[in-house]
Chain A
Amino acid sequence: MKRQRKLWVAVILLAGFHGLVLFAGVFAPYSFSAQDRELPFAPPTRIHFFDAQGRFHARPFVYGLKDNPKIFGAYETDSAAIYPVHFFVQGARYKIAGLFPSHLHLFGVGAPGRIFAMGSDAYGRDQFTRFLYGGQISLAAGWIAATLSVLLGIVIGSLAGFYGGWIDDVLMRGGELFLALPWLYLLFAVRAALPLQIAQWEVFLLLVAVIGLIGWARPARLIRGAVLSAKERNFVTAARALGASDIYLLRRHVLPQTYGIMLTQMTLLIPQYILAEVTLTFLGLGVGEPMPSWGSLLASLQQYYVLSSYWWMFLPALLLIPVFLAYYIAANALQERLKSVPL
């Protein structure tokens, strides 16, 4: 069926992308903090097969860069400096998934040549490398925060829907308060109040937790709605008449009705929270240098001279679009599936 195919295409795309990001060390030619101070804001490196004399090289190569004397800050290729691209090279050390050390890279060129697949940033760091490593931070942020939100939403939503009455009132009003609060200040306050001794990843986790914990209101509402309708169903009334306890009812009969919603919410929330992380890093509240995240990659676009002179800095934003699209397609497909299941 069309819908099934769409869902699977989206899932495969997402899996491929996440795999790329998880094994960033292999696919990226450099380490994310390696600066080349001679080459700030270098454009993406072109791959050539034919050199200036017209000769064909079986192995693709890149040219070196030197300063363009006519335009301040621009580069021109140096046809004399040829750096062939090698595959499965030894390069900077890294740890796969933070555990297994390795220094195998899929591709690379010999120094002092550079292969900037997506150009370089203000410090001469490879944007492609930083995009992959940055994905680790941003995607993790999205997943963790979304999981937190949905978990909290389940707890609160089911309590509110199941018991109703004043519990429902209080919880839902509390949810409104959470939606209304200026969470931006809360984050500033939390970030600023943290002691310096916390490791960067702890700061990150804390911020992600805060985002996730704030966003429970919407999923809670939806789950509450589902619990409300589920609890009136015949089989629940029957089970209750048979003497089932509240916990049992919730666990075995009511909550399974909400799985669809939970899944859909996750797929919707993950990209939202990734964007939230991006926004936070814009404002300087994310992980610090030199750890990249998609937010910090895009943050440089806030400056007009970058926006207007260095087009390759847009690429991370453009690459985000298919990722988010895949999430949305998955979410849509799941929602359609939900609707087609008779309730």
Chain B
Amino acid sequence: MPQASHSKHALAALAVAILCIVFSAIGLPVTALSTRALPAQSAEDRMVTDNPPGRRGGEIAVALRSDPKTLNPALAEDATSRDIIYCMNADLIHINRKTQETESALAKSWSVSHDGKTYTLQLRRGLRFSDGKPFNADDVIFTFEVYLDDTIHSPERDLLIVGGKPISVQKIDDYTVQFRLAQPYAAAERLFDGMPILPKHLLEDAYKSGTFSKAWSISMPPRQFAGLGPFRLKEYVPGQRIVLERNPYYWKVDGKGNPLPYLNEIVFLFVPSEDAQVIRFQAGDTDILSSFSAQNFALLQEAQAAKGYHLYDLGPGLEYNFLFFNMNDLASKNLGQIARKQVWFQDVRFRQAVSAAIDRDGIVRLVYDGRATPLWSQVTPGNKRWVDSALPHPPRSLAGARGLLKSAGFSWKGDGTLIDARGNPVEFSILTSSSNAERTKMATIIQNDLSQLGMNVHVVSLDFGAMVDRLLNSFDYEAAVMGIASGDTDPTSEMNVWLSSGGTHLWHLNESKPATPWEGEMDRLMNEQLITLNHVRRKRLYDQVQQIVEQNLPVICLASPDILAGAKDRVGNFDPAILDPYALWNVEELYVH
């Protein structure tokens, strides 16, 4: 929590308290304050930001890949919907995308009980939704009731289950809420980020009548939406654009006391392909460009000064790409050929040989034009707080790979083909998604590298849905190249990947108990870091997880692409970060010169 604003908030709270006493003494109920058009500053706990002050007015245009699927925060799962919801809503505790730490948002302060299981949050007072109606603890209670309702099937619900039990929410008073967890949870504060607070007065009816899943779909008229974010919905034209306008009731002000946001409007255009987005950015149709490839970066770089925009390479983000082998239990499936090959895949020396043979520098250079970082474990250097910098980075070594294969019982025929101890030639396929050019390229490079070891590898490119079906349902694959882009730096966001029982424990799903001792060890470490509150101790535990991954290679990590962004010079306070949403995380602070 930033200490400076803390004291300012305390002061403001005190002022409000005094005012409340005075007014109640006069006989006016405190709640009447919010319905009267009093000067906002005196009755509101506004948050003061520390950004360079900007100019009020103007609008910017941003491109999105597709129409949003829904504007209902409880149901939105895809990136486009979440980007727009981010601009229209606010959460209780927010993760600052630059510092990667939590800061106060709608909750101006909070305290934790000694056992770490109870969080008491003090809400800011006198805030209003974008339609002018007041915000208080009832909205928070309602919000979490919706998120936790298992008939709504909100993806948020899974995040609110700690220690096997959903967290419980209680209203203490109109501006105080208490959350109880079943066990101490290290990343509890970070839970609240990305959980927008819903307006009870607009959504309660839909929820009570069971039509909540239809509420706030994109075809609703703008006045039926309300949020606590910097912008509110103005207009939506299907297939073309969505326009957001300034929320006049937004609760943040800059250092000079000017209310945020600076911008009058944001226009989101739907431009389905990355190349088309690049072209339109260059042509001047959009002001901000994010999520584009390194090759387009090179293309744009040449014309930077002339065309009046600036490009940013922020270094590695959180995405890690990896190669992994099918180590699922295939006993019940009719996949005899793959089961026979699993004898190779399950030998750690085989995996280590594969990892030693892969030309990660080649991948960085050819796939990402040099704008990426080679990886040997899942945490990227972009995650400064959690990366284990002591992890060894063995250089590429074909000789080393050959030695490992020999010690594992493999040998080579006269023509160079690799055969196993039983004389079978080593041959397998790598699955990739046809819509992801980068991973297909990586697979092609890996295939060429492994052919130098005498392995006959071919790349099978399927559309995403078919590939996921094989990875998760039928297990009909041998190896695959995938990537995971964590939403947050904290290891808890990856629990399902590293826990042996996790749903994205891709190389071996549906384990009733850990299949190998090191997976059992990872389970223990991950579960322990979940409840350890001391960061130094947590880091030590997670470092061990990274070391286990580097040694045992359940996934062979390849590279992490840099986060790239660009903006026209006219956009002020543009400060992209490596956490999503990269370009618009500080949308309320953006302005036009």
Q: Which A residues fall within an 8 A CB radius of B?
A: 33, 35, 37, 40, 71-73, 122-124, 188, 191-192, 195-197, 200, 283-285, 288-290, 302-306, 308-309
- 10 CB contacts below 8 A, A to B, read A37-B445, A122-B366, A191-B466, A192-B465, A196-B460, A196-B476, A284-B434, A288-B458, A289-B461, A305-B295
Given the interface pairs A123-B366, A195-B476, A284-B434, the reply to whether A304 lies near B296 with Cβ below 8 Å is yes
For A305, what are the chain B residues with a Cβ–Cβ distance below 8 Å?
275, 293, 295-296, 298-299
- In the complex, what residues of A have CB within 8 A of residue B445's CB? 35, 37, 123
CA of A200 to CA of B430, assembled, Å:
13
Whether B435 is near chain A, meaning CB under 8 Å from some CB there, is yes
Is B543's CB within 8 Å of the partner chain A? no
Interface SS, B side: helix
Known pairs A284-B463, A290-B444; list 19 more (Cβ under 8 Å).
A37-B362, A37-B365, A37-B366, A122-B366, A122-B441, A191-B462, A192-B462, A284-B434, A284-B435, A288-B458, A289-B444, A289-B447, A289-B459, A290-B448, A290-B459, A302-B275, A303-B295, A305-B295, A305-B298
B477 surroundings in chain A (CB, below 8 A): 196
Closest Cβ of chain B to A65, distance in Å, is 15
Q: B140 → chain A, closest Cβ, in Å?
A: 45
A72–B366 touching, CB < 8 Å: no
Contact B448 A35 (CB under 8 A): yes
Question: B440 in the interface, Cβ–Cβ < 8 Å?
Answer: yes
Please tell me if the beta carbons of B463 and A188 are within 8 angstroms of each other in the complex. yes
Task: List the B side residues contacting A33 at CB < 8 Å.
Answer: 448, 451
Question: Are A304 and B275 closer than 8 Å at their CB atoms?
Answer: yes
Which residues of chain B from 327 to 359 have any CB-CB distance to chain A below 8 Å in the complex? Answer: 337-338, 359
Query: Is A308's CB under 8 angstroms from B299's CB?
Result: yes
In chain B, positions 438-454 with a C-beta closer than 8 Å to chain A are 440-441, 443-445, 447-448, 451
* Smallest CB separation, B328 vs chain A (Å): 14
State A195–B334 Cα separation when bound (angstroms). Answer: 11
Cα A304 to Cα B282 in complex, Å, equals: 12
Residues A303 and B478 in contact in the complex (CB < 8 Å), given A72-B301, A284-B463, A288-B458:
no
> Is there a chain A Cβ closer than 8 Å to B279's Cβ?
yes
| Across-interface contacts of B301 in A (CB, < 8 A) | 72
A37 touching B295, Cβ below 8 Å: no
Task: Kindly state the separation between the CA atoms of A37 and B469 in the bound complex, as whole angstroms.
Answer: 33
Query: How far is the CB of B354 from the nearest CB of chain A, in Å?
Result: 17
Chain A residues, CB < 8 A from B275: 302-305
- Contact status B278-A304, CB under 8 Å: yes
Q: Is the CB of A197 within 8 A of B463?
A: no
Asked if A197 meets B279 with Cβ closer than 8 Å, knowing A33-B448, A192-B463, A284-B463, the reply is no
A281 to chain B, nearest CB (A): 10
Residues from chain B with Cβ under 8 Å of A122 in the complex: 366, 441
Is residue B369 contacting chain A, with contact meaning CB distance below 8 A?
yes
Contacts of B417 in A (CB 8 A): none
Asked if B460 and A288 make an inter-chain contact with CB atoms under 8 angstroms apart, the answer reads yes
Task: Give A314 Cβ to nearest chain B Cβ, in Å.
Answer: 16
Q: Tell me whether A283 and B359 are in contact (CB under 8 A).
A: no
CA A200 to CA B337, docked complex, whole Å? 16
C-alpha gap A302/B435 in the complex (Å): 12
Q: Which residues of A contact B448 (CB under 8 A)?
A: 33, 35, 123, 290
Is there a chain A Cβ closer than 8 Å to B437's Cβ? yes
**Distance to closest chain A CB from B161 (angstroms):** 34
Provide the bound-state CA to CA distance between A2 and B122, in Å: 93
Cβ of B429 under 8 Å from chain A: yes
Contacts of A200 in B (CB 8 A): 458
Inter-subunit contact B478/A196 (CB<8 Å): yes
* Bound-complex Cα distance A290 to B451 (A): 11
- Chain B residues with Cβ under 8 A from A308's Cβ? 299
* Bound: A290/B461 CA distance, A: 11
The smallest beta-carbon distance between B276 and chain A, in angstroms, is 8
Q: How far is the CA of A122 from the CA of B295 in the complex (A)?
A: 11
Closest beta carbon of chain B to A12's beta carbon, Å = 37
List the A side residues contacting B465 at CB < 8 Å: 192
Q: How far is the CA of A37 from the CA of B369 in the complex (A)?
A: 12
Name the one of B299, B365, B476 contacting A309, with C-beta atoms under 8 angstroms.
B299
A123-B445, A304-B299 known; A37-B429 Cβ under 8 A: no
In the complex, what's the smallest C-beta–C-beta distance from B330 to chain A, in angstroms? 13
Q: Closest CB-CB distance, B583 to chain A, in whole Å? A: 20
Query: Do residues B299 and A289 form an inter-chain contact, with CB atoms below 8 A?
Result: no
- Chain B residues contacting A289 (CB-CB under 8 Å) are 440, 443-444, 447, 458-459, 461
- Which residues on A sit within 8 Å (CB–CB) of B295? 303, 305-306
